[in-house]
Structure 1
Amino acid sequence: MTENDRVPLTLISGLSPGPALRLADLLHHADRATAVVHYDLRQVERGIVHRRLRLGPRDQLTALELGHGCVSCTLREDLLPLLRRLSGMPQVRRIAVHLDEAMEPEPVCWALEHVLVGDRPVSTDVEIDAVVTVLDRTTWLDDATGDDTLADRGLRASPDDERTLAQVALSQVEFADVLVLAGAAPDAWHAARTGAVLDRVAPTAALVELTGLDPAGLRAAVPAGARRGTLVDPHGPLLAGQPPLHADCGIAVLTFTERRPFHPERLHDALDVLLDGVVRTRGRAWVASRPDTALWLESAGGGLGIGNAGPWLDSPGGPAWEDVSPERRALASLRWDPVFGDRAQELVVVTHQAAPAEIEAALRGALLTDAELAEGRTAWRAYPDPFGEWHTEPCEDTEDRQHPGVSVNQGRDERP
């Protein structure tokens, strides 16, 4: 199979099962040569996943018994081999995968590129033509700013899945090429706030209405520069596209940058400001006690993920300049320090109730003082470090390696 022979694949995600199913139905009925696959993880803790496959007149429901009750096993043991089989069937011209509400598209895209099925990844058989997230304006904003966990809604994707709805809602939206809007907001204010959040967390995604949509219109809506499943460099730009930076309907964006490290204990204490009244936090942190490794921070709706984003370019054993993306090289060149190299604090915080000034003050208070900065790296390494060891999932084959150390299923608060 050549590059041009790959079968187009559309990924559909979303927390609201009804609207997402409507889109999947639309793709199935409009083109009988489109294979539509849906995964239901409601019994995954018992090691059972239900998979529905529709192709032409065929409508098959299969109960899968997995070795482990988790999303990683579902991907590795069933979805990837299934995509290979479907791509080899002459009657299949397109494939659409309707993900369970608890599944995020980014780890699926990672698995397509990096997990071997036989002797090669499935990306040699299929190519992602669009990542689509369906959201219901009636409920999405409350889910994206609330504290409910997936477990609270009976949606968790493994026995130890402690993610919040907000973490999943934001991840699904941020990675999408197209946002398909369904339902109606309770009032004009709610609608305006939803729009303000989407403008700031997913500025590059096209917005289309589910009502009246057809497959050709969906494909035409995919922006020319869409990522189409391309993974994000954790050391790349944090602001995609050109999101508005001014406040709107109480939604504001804080960009925090600084050229000195955080004190580990003061940063640990300050992280609570990223959990209350904050829609989303994403970015890199430089912690004095571990000067050669960047921390990756994400928060949403009372949930916090902390992981290892890999070494700085200036770190011993760090990647060579020619081995990293042009975007990372450009960022490093612009901020390079003769002593600390490319190390820096870079966080983007989208707020809806919290005061950005208070968040900035808390983060700034966690930085090393002038006296601590003068102590030097030997003293910094001896600082008590409350962040502990990196968390990893049991099923390492599908770990989210573009953010090394951040597992596919991030916890509600992964601080020890």
Structure 2
Amino acid sequence: MLTEVILVAGLVDHDVGEEIWRSWPGSVLVRYDLRDLVQGVVRRWVDSELTALELAHGCVSCTLGFDLVPLLERLGGRVVVHLDPRLEPEAICFALCETDVRVEAVVTVVDRATWLADATGEDLLAERDRSATEDDDRTVAQIAVGPVEFADCLVLTGARADLVLDAVLDRLNPRAARHDRRGLDAAALLGAIPPDARRGRFDDGFGTLLNGRPSREPSHGVAVVHFAAHRPMRLYDALDVLLDGVVRTRGRLWVVSQPDRALWLESAGGGLTIGSLGSWLAAVDDWSQVPPACHPAGATGQDRRPGEPAQEVVVITVTTSPEEITRALRGALVTDEELALADELEFVDPFAESHDEMDEMEEL
């Protein structure tokens, strides 16, 4: 039986999941508490029935793979999942992508009073007693920003309007419908979600970096920087400017120390993740098999083939000026003289350890 699911995420304590459940006829409410995950214990409620799960390996992946995904497939019908903040909706949708579970909506709750400070801060989850495992090095900003960016609908709590927050949300996720916390019901929520909502779908790493069509005009100090260049860079020289006073950075990178590999950079507040997208798409011989959406916008000039190595970075900044960010990124580009002597200079790779980890994962 097909399962239709609404995922409800958010850093703050709230009962939005329960309200949606009560207003969605025939639905089941599932809630998770991962506070004791480090000890291998997960508490899960299905409606009012509590089950304490003991996992052999206390981790988020085990919670998804051994409990949540099978549970949703078994329940069928309509299910509202109220997520513990340690569970990110994007990871759940990835785990569900080859199942008979259809994501009707991802709903993220945003506290007007605290979200922006969390999204631009440097606190680790461990410092808030919210880490999932002993080696969980995620920041509060990463689990504040990611679920908002991935959401189909944002539910705003708190009475005080914040123009800076509104400007950030307009640029971070302009497609998401917004509801005030008061008077919330499932029908209104689902009806307001636009036709182009992602509903659990993923962006391709080689596709567009802009989420929807955000305004490029600065507003209340919030701005979008879109940087593109057709030469490698010494990324390490520009990292600081991507973390201070910035809500979000997403981009494909051509790093001089790894010229054949397309890197993916993603930051939220003071948290940074760098991963591998594999080889540049220009290495693909048959482009008829590559969807147009996968062609990078920063490398489509008439003198270049789509997918050739290039820089393309999008930054949403709150306090750091767009000019400063652009200047730092441009200053990190390799000069003509350095490029000509690249083999002899033997640039140091600051991400060598993470590359080794990526290679090990690709071999599994």
Give the structure-1-normalised TM-score. 0.81
Deviations, residues 148-190 of structure 1 (Å, cap 9, x unaligned): 22111111122111111111111000000111111123xx5xx
Give the SS at the match of 1:128.
strand
Instruction: Provide closer, same or farther for how the CA distance between residues 330 and 102 of structure 1 changes in structure 2, counting only shifts above 3 A.
Output: closer
- Corresponding residue to 1:69 among 50, 58, 65: 58
- Corresponding residue to 2:9 among 5, 8, 13: 13
Structure-2 separation of matches of 1:167 and 1:75: 19
Structure-1 separation of matches of 2:37 and 2:258: 37
Give the SS at the match of 1:273.
helix
Give the SS at the match of 2:227.
strand
Which aligned pairs between 1:264-303 and structure 2 lie closer than 5 A?
Answer: 267-303=235-271
Structure-2 separation of matches of 1:176 and 1:290: 33
- Corresponding residue to 2:209 among 227, 231, 238: 238
Instruction: Provide closer, same or farther for how the CA distance between residues 332 and 139 of structure 1 changes in structure 2, counting only shifts above 3 A.
Output: closer
Instruction: Provide closer, same or farther for how the CA distance between residues 252 and 333 of structure 1 changes in structure 2, counting only shifts above 3 A.
Output: closer
Contact 2:280 2:308 in 1 (8 A): yes
- Which residue number in structure 1 is paired with residue 145 of structure 2? 170
Which aligned pairs between 1:142-181 and structure 2 lie closer than 5 A?
Answer: 142-181=117-156
Unaligned regions of 5+ residues in structure 1, if any? 88-92, 114-120, 406-416
- Which residue number in structure 1 is paired with residue 280 of structure 2? 312
Matched length: 362
Give the SS at the match of 2:117.
helix
Instruction: Provide closer, same or farther for how the CA distance between residues 42 and 319 of structure 1 changes in structure 2, counting only shifts above 3 A.
Output: farther
Give the SS at the match of 1:359.
helix
Residue 252 (structure 1) aligned with residue 223 (structure 2)? yes
Give the SS at the match of 2:258.
coil
Instruction: Provide closer, same or farther for how the CA distance between residues 274 and 289 of structure 1 changes in structure 2, counting only shifts above 3 A.
Output: same
The structural deviation recorded for 1:136 is: 1.3
Unaligned regions of 5+ residues in structure 2, if any? none
Structure-1 separation of matches of 2:61 and 2:233: 34
Structure-2 separation of matches of 1:332 and 1:351: 20
Contact 1:259 1:344 in 2 (8 A): yes
Contact 1:261 1:286 in 2 (8 A): yes
Structure-2 separation of matches of 1:392 and 1:47: 29
Instruction: Provide closer, same or farther for how the CA distance between residues 319 and 81 of structure 1 changes in structure 2, counting only shifts above 3 A.
Output: farther
Residue 44 (structure 1) aligned with residue 37 (structure 2)? yes
Amino acid at match of 1:100: D
Cα RMSD for the two superposed structures: 2.4
- Which residue number in structure 2 is paired with residue 384 of structure 1? 348
Amino acid at match of 2:207: G
Structure-2 separation of matches of 1:211 and 1:201: 23
- Which residue number in structure 2 is paired with residue 217 of structure 1? 188
The structural deviation recorded for 1:30 is: 2.8
Amino acid at match of 2:54: E
Give the SS at the match of 2:253.
strand
Contact 1:308 1:390 in 2 (8 A): no
Structure-1 separation of matches of 2:349 and 2:73: 45
The structural deviation recorded for 1:31 is: 4.3
- Corresponding residue to 2:92 among 108, 111, 116: 108
Instruction: Provide closer, same or farther for how the CA distance between residues 361 and 16 of structure 1 changes in structure 2, counting only shifts above 3 A.
Output: same
Structure-2 separation of matches of 1:300 and 1:339: 31
Instruction: Provide closer, same or farther for how the CA distance between residues 355 and 332 of structure 1 changes in structure 2, counting only shifts above 3 A.
Output: closer
Structure-2 separation of matches of 1:319 and 1:76: 36
Contact 2:23 2:187 in 1 (8 A): no
- Which residue number in structure 2 is paired with residue 375 of structure 1? 341
Amino acid at match of 2:210: L
The structural deviation recorded for 1:262 is: 0.7
Structure-2 separation of matches of 1:85 and 1:282: 36
Contact 2:296 2:306 in 1 (8 A): no
Identity, in percent, stands at: 51
Instruction: Provide closer, same or farther for how the CA distance between residues 252 and 393 of structure 1 changes in structure 2, counting only shifts above 3 A.
Output: same
Amino acid at match of 1:207: R
Instruction: Provide closer, same or farther for how the CA distance between residues 330 and 197 of structure 1 changes in structure 2, counting only shifts above 3 A.
Output: closer
Contact 1:335 1:342 in 2 (8 A): no
Contact 1:282 1:299 in 2 (8 A): yes
Give the SS at the match of 2:259.
coil
Structure-2 separation of matches of 1:146 and 1:341: 34
